[in-house]
Amino acid sequence: MATIFYSTAGEGRGHATRVRAIVESLRERHSVVVFAPGDAFDLLEPAYRRAGDVRVVCIPGLRFGYAPNGSLSPVRTTRAVAAFAAGLPGLVGRLVREIEAERPALAITDFEPALPRAARRAGVPFVSLDHQHFLSVSDLSHLPPLLRARGEWMGRVVDCMYGGQRATIVSSFFFPRLRVDDRRVRLVGPILRPSVLAVRPERGAHIVVYVRRAFAFERLLDALVSTRREVRCYGLGPLPARANLRFLPIDEQRFVEDLASSDCLVTTAGNQLLGEALFLRKPILAFPEPGNPEQRIHGHFLEREETGEMGDVRTVDGRTIAAFLDRKEDYRSRIDSDRMNGNGAALAALAPFLPASLPPEVALV
Protein backbone atom coordinates (compact mmCIF):
# COMPACT_ATOMS: atom_id res chain seq x y z
CA MET A 1 0.00 0.00 0.00
CA ALA A 2 1.50 3.32 -1.12
CA THR A 3 0.83 6.77 0.31
CA ILE A 4 -0.90 9.53 -1.67
CA PHE A 5 -0.73 13.18 -0.61
CA TYR A 6 -3.81 15.22 -1.53
CA SER A 7 -4.36 18.96 -0.96
CA THR A 8 -7.42 21.10 -1.48
CA ALA A 9 -8.54 24.69 -1.41
CA GLY A 10 -10.76 25.54 1.52
CA GLU A 11 -13.20 28.21 0.33
CA GLY A 12 -16.75 26.81 0.27
CA ARG A 13 -17.65 23.12 0.26
CA GLY A 14 -17.24 22.18 -3.41
CA HIS A 15 -13.51 21.40 -3.27
CA ALA A 16 -13.88 19.17 -0.22
CA THR A 17 -16.89 17.38 -1.69
CA ARG A 18 -14.90 16.55 -4.81
CA VAL A 19 -11.85 15.46 -2.81
CA ARG A 20 -13.90 13.17 -0.61
CA ALA A 21 -15.32 11.32 -3.60
CA ILE A 22 -11.84 10.68 -5.02
CA VAL A 23 -10.38 9.74 -1.62
CA GLU A 24 -13.07 7.10 -1.17
CA SER A 25 -11.77 5.36 -4.30
CA LEU A 26 -8.08 5.87 -3.54
CA ARG A 27 -8.30 4.44 -0.03
CA GLU A 28 -9.29 1.03 -1.42
CA ARG A 29 -5.62 0.47 -2.34
CA HIS A 30 -3.63 3.29 -0.76
CA SER A 31 -3.32 5.36 2.36
CA VAL A 32 -4.13 9.04 1.85
CA VAL A 33 -3.00 12.18 3.67
CA VAL A 34 -5.27 15.15 2.95
CA PHE A 35 -4.06 18.71 3.58
CA ALA A 36 -7.07 20.97 3.93
CA PRO A 37 -7.76 24.51 5.15
CA GLY A 38 -10.93 26.26 6.26
CA ASP A 39 -14.28 24.88 5.16
CA ALA A 40 -12.63 21.84 3.59
CA PHE A 41 -10.97 20.79 6.85
CA ASP A 42 -14.25 21.27 8.73
CA LEU A 43 -16.00 18.93 6.31
CA LEU A 44 -13.31 16.28 5.84
CA GLU A 45 -11.75 15.91 9.29
CA PRO A 46 -14.90 14.57 11.03
CA ALA A 47 -15.49 12.15 8.13
CA TYR A 48 -12.06 10.55 8.55
CA ARG A 49 -11.35 11.14 12.23
CA ARG A 50 -11.32 7.42 13.02
CA ALA A 51 -10.05 6.17 9.67
CA GLY A 52 -6.78 4.29 9.75
CA ASP A 53 -6.07 4.79 6.04
CA VAL A 54 -6.93 8.50 5.72
CA ARG A 55 -5.43 11.35 7.73
CA VAL A 56 -6.66 14.95 7.42
CA VAL A 57 -4.20 17.73 8.31
CA CYS A 58 -5.18 21.38 8.75
CA ILE A 59 -3.13 23.92 6.78
CA PRO A 60 -3.51 27.66 6.08
CA GLY A 61 -5.52 28.44 2.99
CA LEU A 62 -6.35 31.22 0.61
CA ARG A 63 -9.64 32.96 1.39
CA PHE A 64 -11.68 35.51 -0.52
CA GLY A 65 -12.60 38.82 1.05
CA TYR A 66 -16.19 40.07 1.07
CA ALA A 67 -17.74 43.50 1.44
CA PRO A 68 -20.44 44.14 4.10
CA ASN A 69 -23.13 43.89 1.39
CA GLY A 70 -22.05 40.31 0.60
CA SER A 71 -20.29 40.98 -2.71
CA LEU A 72 -16.77 39.80 -3.44
CA SER A 73 -14.37 42.61 -2.52
CA PRO A 74 -11.28 42.98 -4.77
CA VAL A 75 -9.51 45.06 -2.10
CA ARG A 76 -10.14 42.62 0.73
CA THR A 77 -9.36 39.66 -1.48
CA THR A 78 -6.05 41.27 -2.52
CA ARG A 79 -5.15 41.73 1.14
CA ALA A 80 -6.01 38.10 1.88
CA VAL A 81 -3.92 36.93 -1.06
CA ALA A 82 -0.97 39.04 0.09
CA ALA A 83 -1.17 37.64 3.62
CA PHE A 84 -1.34 34.08 2.31
CA ALA A 85 1.57 34.68 -0.09
CA ALA A 86 3.71 35.94 2.78
CA GLY A 87 3.24 32.65 4.61
CA LEU A 88 3.49 30.41 1.54
CA PRO A 89 7.25 29.69 1.74
CA GLY A 90 6.90 28.49 5.30
CA LEU A 91 3.95 26.27 4.38
CA VAL A 92 5.84 24.80 1.43
CA GLY A 93 8.78 24.02 3.71
CA ARG A 94 6.44 22.30 6.17
CA LEU A 95 4.99 20.14 3.39
CA VAL A 96 8.46 19.27 2.08
CA ARG A 97 9.26 17.89 5.53
CA GLU A 98 6.00 15.89 5.48
CA ILE A 99 6.98 14.46 2.08
CA GLU A 100 10.47 13.54 3.29
CA ALA A 101 8.97 11.81 6.33
CA GLU A 102 6.26 9.78 4.53
CA ARG A 103 7.65 9.43 0.97
CA PRO A 104 4.34 9.63 -0.95
CA ALA A 105 4.29 8.11 -4.42
CA LEU A 106 2.03 10.80 -5.87
CA ALA A 107 0.57 14.19 -4.95
CA ILE A 108 -2.83 15.41 -6.14
CA THR A 109 -4.09 18.94 -5.69
CA ASP A 110 -7.54 20.51 -5.96
CA PHE A 111 -6.50 24.12 -6.59
CA GLU A 112 -4.18 24.39 -3.59
CA PRO A 113 -0.77 25.96 -4.37
CA ALA A 114 1.55 24.79 -1.56
CA LEU A 115 1.62 21.01 -2.08
CA PRO A 116 2.52 21.26 -5.80
CA ARG A 117 5.48 23.49 -4.94
CA ALA A 118 6.58 21.10 -2.19
CA ALA A 119 6.17 18.09 -4.49
CA ARG A 120 8.28 19.69 -7.21
CA ARG A 121 10.99 20.57 -4.69
CA ALA A 122 11.00 17.01 -3.32
CA GLY A 123 10.86 15.32 -6.74
CA VAL A 124 7.37 13.82 -6.34
CA PRO A 125 5.08 13.79 -9.41
CA PHE A 126 1.79 15.61 -8.98
CA VAL A 127 -1.53 15.87 -10.81
CA SER A 128 -4.09 18.68 -10.79
CA LEU A 129 -7.74 17.68 -10.36
CA ASP A 130 -10.07 20.64 -9.89
CA HIS A 131 -12.71 22.73 -11.59
CA GLN A 132 -11.00 26.13 -11.78
CA HIS A 133 -8.60 25.12 -14.56
CA PHE A 134 -11.52 25.26 -17.00
CA LEU A 135 -10.73 28.98 -17.05
CA SER A 136 -7.27 28.39 -18.50
CA VAL A 137 -7.91 25.40 -20.81
CA SER A 138 -11.31 26.30 -22.30
CA ASP A 139 -12.27 28.33 -25.34
CA LEU A 140 -14.34 31.15 -23.81
CA SER A 141 -14.81 33.07 -27.06
CA HIS A 142 -18.60 32.69 -27.05
CA LEU A 143 -19.03 34.49 -23.72
CA PRO A 144 -20.25 38.11 -23.65
CA PRO A 145 -17.21 40.37 -24.21
CA LEU A 146 -16.80 41.72 -20.67
CA LEU A 147 -17.35 38.32 -19.07
CA ARG A 148 -14.96 36.72 -21.58
CA ALA A 149 -12.26 39.26 -20.73
CA ARG A 150 -12.66 38.60 -17.01
CA GLY A 151 -12.65 34.85 -17.59
CA GLU A 152 -9.46 35.00 -19.63
CA TRP A 153 -7.81 37.15 -16.97
CA MET A 154 -8.83 34.66 -14.29
CA GLY A 155 -7.43 31.88 -16.45
CA ARG A 156 -4.02 33.52 -16.30
CA VAL A 157 -4.35 33.78 -12.52
CA VAL A 158 -5.22 30.07 -12.36
CA ASP A 159 -2.09 29.22 -14.32
CA CYS A 160 -0.04 31.18 -11.78
CA MET A 161 -1.27 29.00 -8.90
CA TYR A 162 1.10 26.18 -9.84
CA GLY A 163 2.72 24.53 -12.83
CA GLY A 164 4.54 21.36 -13.77
CA GLN A 165 1.66 18.93 -13.18
CA ARG A 166 1.78 15.64 -15.08
CA ALA A 167 -1.90 16.02 -15.98
CA THR A 168 -4.67 18.59 -15.64
CA ILE A 169 -8.05 16.96 -14.96
CA VAL A 170 -10.95 19.42 -15.04
CA SER A 171 -14.27 18.43 -13.45
CA SER A 172 -17.26 20.43 -14.67
CA PHE A 173 -21.03 20.24 -15.20
CA PHE A 174 -20.51 21.76 -18.65
CA PHE A 175 -18.18 20.68 -21.45
CA PRO A 176 -16.63 23.62 -23.31
CA ARG A 177 -14.34 23.21 -26.27
CA LEU A 178 -10.69 23.11 -25.23
CA ARG A 179 -8.53 26.05 -26.21
CA VAL A 180 -5.65 23.83 -27.31
CA ASP A 181 -5.29 20.15 -28.13
CA ASP A 182 -3.21 18.87 -25.21
CA ARG A 183 -3.21 15.18 -24.27
CA ARG A 184 -2.31 16.15 -20.70
CA VAL A 185 -5.69 17.91 -20.28
CA ARG A 186 -8.81 15.84 -19.60
CA LEU A 187 -12.31 17.26 -19.15
CA VAL A 188 -14.63 15.09 -17.03
CA GLY A 189 -18.08 15.49 -15.53
CA PRO A 190 -18.86 16.35 -11.90
CA ILE A 191 -17.16 14.24 -9.24
CA LEU A 192 -20.03 12.80 -7.20
CA ARG A 193 -19.74 11.97 -3.50
CA PRO A 194 -20.93 8.52 -2.34
CA SER A 195 -24.09 9.87 -0.70
CA VAL A 196 -25.25 11.37 -4.02
CA LEU A 197 -24.54 8.16 -5.93
CA ALA A 198 -26.42 6.11 -3.33
CA VAL A 199 -29.65 8.10 -3.24
CA ARG A 200 -32.60 7.45 -5.54
CA PRO A 201 -34.04 10.66 -7.05
CA GLU A 202 -37.76 11.30 -6.84
CA ARG A 203 -39.84 14.33 -7.77
CA GLY A 204 -41.43 15.86 -4.70
CA ALA A 205 -43.24 19.15 -4.12
CA HIS A 206 -40.69 21.02 -2.01
CA ILE A 207 -37.95 23.37 -3.21
CA VAL A 208 -34.40 23.09 -1.88
CA VAL A 209 -32.40 26.28 -1.39
CA TYR A 210 -28.68 26.52 -0.70
CA VAL A 211 -27.13 29.93 -0.05
CA ARG A 212 -24.05 30.93 1.86
CA ARG A 213 -24.66 33.14 4.88
CA ALA A 214 -22.96 36.17 3.30
CA PHE A 215 -25.39 36.08 0.35
CA ALA A 216 -28.73 35.62 2.11
CA PHE A 217 -30.32 38.70 0.56
CA GLU A 218 -33.74 39.52 2.00
CA ARG A 219 -35.12 39.96 -1.51
CA LEU A 220 -34.47 36.30 -2.26
CA LEU A 221 -36.07 35.11 0.96
CA ASP A 222 -39.12 37.33 0.35
CA ALA A 223 -39.43 35.98 -3.19
CA LEU A 224 -39.33 32.40 -1.91
CA VAL A 225 -42.06 33.16 0.64
CA SER A 226 -44.27 34.31 -2.23
CA THR A 227 -44.24 30.82 -3.79
CA ARG A 228 -46.35 29.47 -0.92
CA ARG A 229 -44.60 26.14 -1.41
CA GLU A 230 -42.50 24.31 1.15
CA VAL A 231 -38.94 25.60 0.92
CA ARG A 232 -36.09 23.86 2.75
CA CYS A 233 -33.20 26.29 3.18
CA TYR A 234 -29.61 25.20 3.83
CA GLY A 235 -26.52 27.28 4.48
CA LEU A 236 -27.97 29.82 6.92
CA GLY A 237 -28.13 27.61 9.98
CA PRO A 238 -31.14 26.45 12.02
CA LEU A 239 -33.11 29.73 12.11
CA PRO A 240 -36.78 30.03 13.13
CA ALA A 241 -39.22 29.16 10.38
CA ARG A 242 -40.48 32.02 8.23
CA ALA A 243 -43.89 31.37 6.67
CA ASN A 244 -43.25 28.46 4.24
CA LEU A 245 -39.44 28.61 4.68
CA ARG A 246 -37.69 26.08 6.94
CA PHE A 247 -34.05 26.76 7.84
CA LEU A 248 -32.04 23.60 8.41
CA PRO A 249 -28.51 22.98 9.70
CA ILE A 250 -25.96 21.57 7.28
CA ASP A 251 -26.18 17.79 7.43
CA GLU A 252 -24.77 16.01 4.41
CA GLN A 253 -27.10 13.02 4.38
CA ARG A 254 -30.25 15.02 5.05
CA PHE A 255 -29.33 17.64 2.47
CA VAL A 256 -28.71 15.02 -0.22
CA GLU A 257 -31.97 13.25 0.61
CA ASP A 258 -33.91 16.53 0.51
CA LEU A 259 -32.31 17.44 -2.80
CA ALA A 260 -33.00 14.02 -4.31
CA SER A 261 -36.69 14.21 -3.35
CA SER A 262 -37.16 17.88 -4.30
CA ASP A 263 -38.86 19.46 -7.27
CA CYS A 264 -36.00 21.85 -8.08
CA LEU A 265 -33.03 23.74 -6.65
CA VAL A 266 -32.46 27.44 -5.98
CA THR A 267 -28.82 28.15 -5.18
CA THR A 268 -25.69 30.12 -5.72
CA ALA A 269 -23.79 29.12 -8.84
CA GLY A 270 -21.00 26.87 -7.57
CA ASN A 271 -19.97 24.14 -10.01
CA GLN A 272 -20.11 21.19 -7.61
CA LEU A 273 -23.68 21.57 -6.37
CA LEU A 274 -24.96 22.42 -9.85
CA GLY A 275 -23.46 19.18 -11.13
CA GLU A 276 -24.91 17.09 -8.30
CA ALA A 277 -28.37 18.59 -8.79
CA LEU A 278 -28.29 17.93 -12.53
CA PHE A 279 -27.21 14.34 -11.88
CA LEU A 280 -30.36 14.04 -9.75
CA ARG A 281 -32.40 15.64 -12.59
CA LYS A 282 -33.27 18.84 -10.74
CA PRO A 283 -33.84 22.06 -12.73
CA ILE A 284 -31.84 24.94 -11.28
CA LEU A 285 -32.37 28.63 -10.65
CA ALA A 286 -28.85 29.88 -9.97
CA PHE A 287 -27.88 33.21 -8.44
CA PRO A 288 -24.18 33.97 -8.96
CA GLU A 289 -22.56 35.59 -5.96
CA PRO A 290 -22.24 39.33 -6.65
CA GLY A 291 -18.75 40.20 -7.82
CA ASN A 292 -17.91 36.57 -8.66
CA PRO A 293 -17.35 36.30 -12.45
CA GLU A 294 -16.61 32.57 -12.28
CA GLN A 295 -20.12 31.94 -11.00
CA ARG A 296 -21.53 34.19 -13.72
CA ILE A 297 -19.76 31.99 -16.27
CA HIS A 298 -21.36 28.96 -14.63
CA GLY A 299 -24.75 30.64 -14.98
CA HIS A 300 -24.06 31.33 -18.64
CA PHE A 301 -23.27 27.66 -19.31
CA LEU A 302 -26.33 26.54 -17.31
CA GLU A 303 -28.52 28.63 -19.60
CA ARG A 304 -26.62 27.52 -22.70
CA GLU A 305 -27.31 23.87 -21.80
CA GLU A 306 -30.99 24.84 -21.17
CA THR A 307 -31.10 22.93 -17.88
CA GLY A 308 -31.74 25.97 -15.73
CA GLU A 309 -31.47 29.72 -15.63
CA MET A 310 -29.53 32.50 -13.97
CA GLY A 311 -30.99 35.26 -11.80
CA ASP A 312 -29.71 38.36 -10.04
CA VAL A 313 -30.00 38.12 -6.27
CA ARG A 314 -30.12 41.93 -6.03
CA THR A 315 -33.27 42.26 -8.18
CA VAL A 316 -35.08 38.96 -7.64
CA ASP A 317 -38.76 39.05 -6.75
CA GLY A 318 -41.71 36.69 -6.69
CA ARG A 319 -42.18 36.99 -10.45
CA THR A 320 -38.62 35.73 -11.00
CA ILE A 321 -39.30 32.56 -9.02
CA ALA A 322 -42.75 32.06 -10.58
CA ALA A 323 -41.37 32.37 -14.13
CA PHE A 324 -38.68 29.79 -13.36
CA LEU A 325 -41.24 27.39 -11.91
CA ASP A 326 -43.31 27.74 -15.08
CA ARG A 327 -40.30 26.74 -17.22
CA LYS A 328 -38.72 24.09 -14.99
CA GLU A 329 -40.19 21.05 -16.76
CA ASP A 330 -38.65 22.19 -20.04
CA TYR A 331 -35.30 22.38 -18.26
CA ARG A 332 -35.79 18.97 -16.68
CA SER A 333 -36.46 17.36 -20.06
CA ARG A 334 -33.03 18.51 -21.32
CA ILE A 335 -30.96 17.15 -18.42
CA ASP A 336 -28.62 14.30 -19.37
CA SER A 337 -27.86 12.83 -15.96
CA ASP A 338 -25.42 10.24 -17.37
CA ARG A 339 -23.03 13.03 -18.43
CA MET A 340 -23.13 14.38 -14.88
CA ASN A 341 -21.17 11.46 -13.40
CA GLY A 342 -17.47 12.08 -13.95
CA ASN A 343 -16.12 9.69 -11.32
CA GLY A 344 -15.13 6.91 -13.67
CA ALA A 345 -13.52 9.25 -16.18
CA ALA A 346 -11.58 11.06 -13.45
CA LEU A 347 -10.24 7.83 -11.98
CA ALA A 348 -9.30 6.60 -15.46
CA ALA A 349 -7.37 9.84 -16.01
CA LEU A 350 -5.60 9.38 -12.67
CA ALA A 351 -4.81 5.70 -13.21
CA PRO A 352 -1.55 6.10 -15.18
CA PHE A 353 -0.07 8.11 -12.29
CA LEU A 354 -1.17 5.95 -9.38
CA PRO A 355 1.55 3.81 -7.76
CA ALA A 356 0.53 0.47 -9.21
CA SER A 357 0.90 1.81 -12.73
CA LEU A 358 3.63 4.40 -12.36
CA PRO A 359 6.38 3.86 -14.96
CA PRO A 360 9.83 3.28 -13.45
CA GLU A 361 11.18 6.69 -14.47
CA VAL A 362 8.64 8.53 -12.27
CA ALA A 363 8.43 6.09 -9.36
CA LEU A 364 10.28 7.05 -6.19
CA VAL A 365 13.36 5.05 -5.25
CB 290 within 8 A of CB 313: yes
pLDDT of residue 71: 60
pLDDT of residue 68: 65
* Its pTM surpasses 0.85: yes
CB 293 within 8 A of CB 158: no
195-340: CATH number: 3.40.50.2000
All CATH 3.40.50.2000 domain ranges in the chain, comma separated: 3-191+342-357, 195-340
3-state secondary structure string, the chain?
A: CCEEEEEECCCCCHHHHHHHHHHHHHCCCCEEEEEECHHHHHHHHHHCCCCCCEEEEECCCCCCCECCCCCECHHHHHHHHHHHHHHHHHHHHHHHHHHHHHCCCEEEEECCCHHHHHHHHHCCCEEEEECCCHHHHECCCCCCHHHHHHHHHHHHHHHHHCCCCCCEEEECCCCCCECCCCCCEEEECCCCCHHHHHCCCCCCCCEEEECCHHHCCHHHHHHHHCCCCCEEEECCCCCCCECCEEEECCCHHHHHHHHHCCCEEEECCCHHHHHHHHHCCCCEEECCCCCCHHHHHHHHHHHHCCCEEECCCCCCCHHHHHHHHHHHHHHHHCCCHHHHCCHHHHHHHHHHHCHHHCCCCCCCC
Length of the chain: 365
pLDDT of residue 218: 86
- Superfamily (CATH) of domain 3-191+342-357: Glycogen Phosphorylase B; (3.40.50.2000)
pLDDT of residue 363: 36
pLDDT of residue 78: 75
pLDDT of residue 9: 92
Question: Which residue ranges in the chain fall short of pLDDT 70?
Answer: 64-73, 77, 213-216, 356-365
